[in-house]
């Protein structure tokens, strides 16, 4: 697990699964599209992630791997559309950005493992939106992004067929891969910050609170988590699964697992979309399939974990927390013409109250929680305000990757400085536990307002 050679801007690195060829640019070396589990196809579809067997020779890790197959993202009108790049065969992959001088030294760097959002139904850690090079350089840290199964492939609830919170199981597998392997990239396996945005934040907190994975998590970054969303009740998940199977013409019998394996992935996605439309309710943005209470990684609901064993018996005790939201989260779902009072109410109920609860619980147990609110407003569509996802271009300092995103619009020197500042805060928190402002104290306004905040 040591570096073998460097040639120009190409670096070859040996890890336990085999050798990788990455690229070095601007003082950061990137290894992309690294498989962390066996392809979830054939007999492994709708099964927990299995160990990857490795590969002979040197694997090209200069380009991202494919995303998990998925339908169109719900927020394309806000974030910009993506060209489909899903492939079930190679979708369980991750990406690593490490300071060029970190590999092979005796000074391992702190690690940020970050999970994308997308309502548990879309997204990919390999997209340029989440390129971690500038974030790694900002704090001399190692950054990891990863795919996890989403939509029906990740959250169909059929335990009798092996489908039990598979997306959560994938995330746990990534965390264990990082613990076991990141040292080869110059990362410190004892200083892993787990973070994410939206569904990724929801997932990061679950990993930190669960007794099976919590001991591996050093700090937590929680961006715009949908905190009003409780894990899905098993009976609700079972109803969604029944409708899904009915649309596919599949019976719950001894052939269930094989029948599901034989369905083309496009048909699975089509049935998922139809279930989502059928079960949609006004004012309820919950997807039809997402982590199920009592399943893997979600043995207890969040309030119980936070108020009881989560903080007092492991969970977040002793971990630093960075948590925040955007000022107008709800416009991403309600539209730019939604009444201001409705936007404020939904933003508060779905996101803001959860931020306050997390900060209070952390303070009550002596766990430092640094809280922010992101308020920069796009001049392209001012009515959006600072919607859900508006902080992402700035968190990764990747304004150029969002050139078509209405939530970003034209950028100026102030925006570029904000991106450096915000990504620097995330990197500093990963490295030191201090993002640049004090932890929340009860009775003291906890928010740091950035450009455009009010």
Q: Tell me which DSSP letter residue 349 carries.
A: I
Q: Tell me which DSSP letter residue 281 carries.
A: B
What does the alpha-carbon distance between residue 34 and residue 61 come to, in Å, rounded to a whole number? 7
3-class DSSP assignment, residue 294: coil
3-class DSSP assignment, residue 371: strand
Of 125, 188, 134, 148, the residue nearest 25 (C-alpha): 134
What does the alpha-carbon distance between residue 234 and residue 227 come to, in Å, rounded to a whole number? 19
Q: What are the structure tokens assigned to 245, written together?
A: 């199977």
Q: Give yes or no for a contact between 247 and 267, defined as CB atoms under 8 angstroms apart.
A: no
Q: How many CB atoms lie within 10 A of CB 58?
A: 14
3-class DSSP assignment, residue 211: coil
What does the alpha-carbon distance between residue 323 and residue 314 come to, in Å, rounded to a whole number? 19
Q: What are the structure tokens assigned to 191, written together?
A: 């200083």
Of 245, 289, 239, the residue nearest 263 (C-alpha): 245
**Which residues does the annotation mark as catalytic?**
198, 329, 388
- C-alpha torsion angle, residues 242, 243, 245, 249 (rounded to 10): 130
Phi/psi class of residue 54: alpha, beta or left (left: φ > 0; alpha: ψ in -120 to 50)? left
Phi/psi class of residue 8: alpha, beta or left (left: φ > 0; alpha: ψ in -120 to 50)? left
What does the alpha-carbon distance between residue 261 and residue 238 come to, in Å, rounded to a whole number? 19
Judging by beta carbons within 10 Å of its beta carbon (0-12, 13-18, 19+), is residue 14 exposed, middle or buried? Answer: middle
Place of tokens 């998925």: 70
Q: Give yes or no for a contact between 224 and 388, defined as CB atoms under 8 angstroms apart.
A: yes
What does the alpha-carbon distance between residue 17 and residue 396 come to, in Å, rounded to a whole number? 29
What does the alpha-carbon distance between residue 235 and residue 454 come to, in Å, rounded to a whole number? 42
Phi/psi class of residue 323: alpha, beta or left (left: φ > 0; alpha: ψ in -120 to 50)? beta
């Amino acid at each position: 697990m040591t570096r073998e050679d460097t040639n120009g801007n190409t670096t070859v690195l040996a890890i336990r699964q085999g050798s990788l060829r990455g690229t070095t640019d601007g003082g950061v070396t990137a290894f992309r599209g690294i498989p962390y589990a066996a392809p979830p196809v054939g007999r492994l579809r709708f099964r927990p992630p299995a160990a990857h067997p490795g590969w002979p020779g040197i694997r090209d890790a200069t380009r991202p791997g494919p995303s998990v197959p998925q339908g169109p993202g719900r927020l394309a009108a806000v974030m910009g559309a993506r060209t489909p790049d899903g492939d079930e065969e190679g979708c369980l992959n991750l990406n690593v950005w490490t300071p060029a001088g970190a590999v092979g030294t005796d000074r391992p760097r702190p690690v940020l493992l970050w999970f994308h959002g997308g309502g548990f139904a879309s997204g990919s850690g390999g997209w340029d939106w989440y390129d971690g090079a500038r974030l790694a350089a900002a704090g001399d840290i190692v950054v990891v992004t990863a795919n996890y199964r989403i939509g029906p492939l990740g959250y169909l609830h059929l335990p009798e067929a092996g489908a039990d919170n598979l997306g959560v199981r994938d995330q746990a597998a990534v965390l264990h891969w990082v613990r076991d392997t990141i040292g080869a990239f110059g990362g410190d396996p004892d200083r892993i910050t787990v973070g994410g945005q939206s569904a990724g934040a929801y997932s990061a907190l679950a990993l930190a609170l669960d007794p099976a994975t919590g001991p591996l998590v050093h700090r937590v970054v929680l961006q715009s988590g949908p905190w009003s969303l409780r894990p899905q009740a098993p009976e609700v998940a079972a109803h969604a699964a029944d409708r899904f199977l009915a649309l596919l013409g599949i019976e719950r019998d001894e052939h269930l697992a094989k029948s599901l394996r034989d369905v083309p992935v496009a048909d699975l996605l089509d049935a998922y979309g139809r279930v989502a439309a059928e079960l949609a309710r006004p004012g309820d943005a919950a997807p039809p399939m997402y982590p199920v209470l009592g399943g893997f990684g979600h043995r207890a609901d969040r309030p119980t974990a936070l108020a009881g064993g989560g903080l007092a018996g492991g969970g977040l005790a002793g971990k630093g927390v960075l948590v925040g939201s955007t000022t107008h989260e709800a416009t991403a779902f309600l539209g730019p013409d939604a009444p201001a009072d409705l936007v404020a109410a939904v933003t508060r109920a779905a996101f803001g109250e959860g931020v306050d609860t997390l900060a209070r619980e952390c303070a009550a147990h002596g766990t430092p929680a640094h809280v922010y609110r992101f308020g920069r407003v796009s001049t392209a569509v001012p009515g959006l305000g600072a919607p859900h996802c508006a902080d992402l271009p700035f968190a990764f300092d990747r304004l150029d990757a969002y050139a078509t995103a209405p939530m970003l619009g034209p950028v100026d020197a102030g925006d570029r400085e904000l991106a450096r500042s915000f990504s620097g805060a995330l990197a500093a928190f990963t490295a030191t536990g201090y993002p640049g402002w004090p932890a929340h104290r009860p009775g003291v306004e906890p928010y740091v307002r950035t450009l455009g905040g009010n």
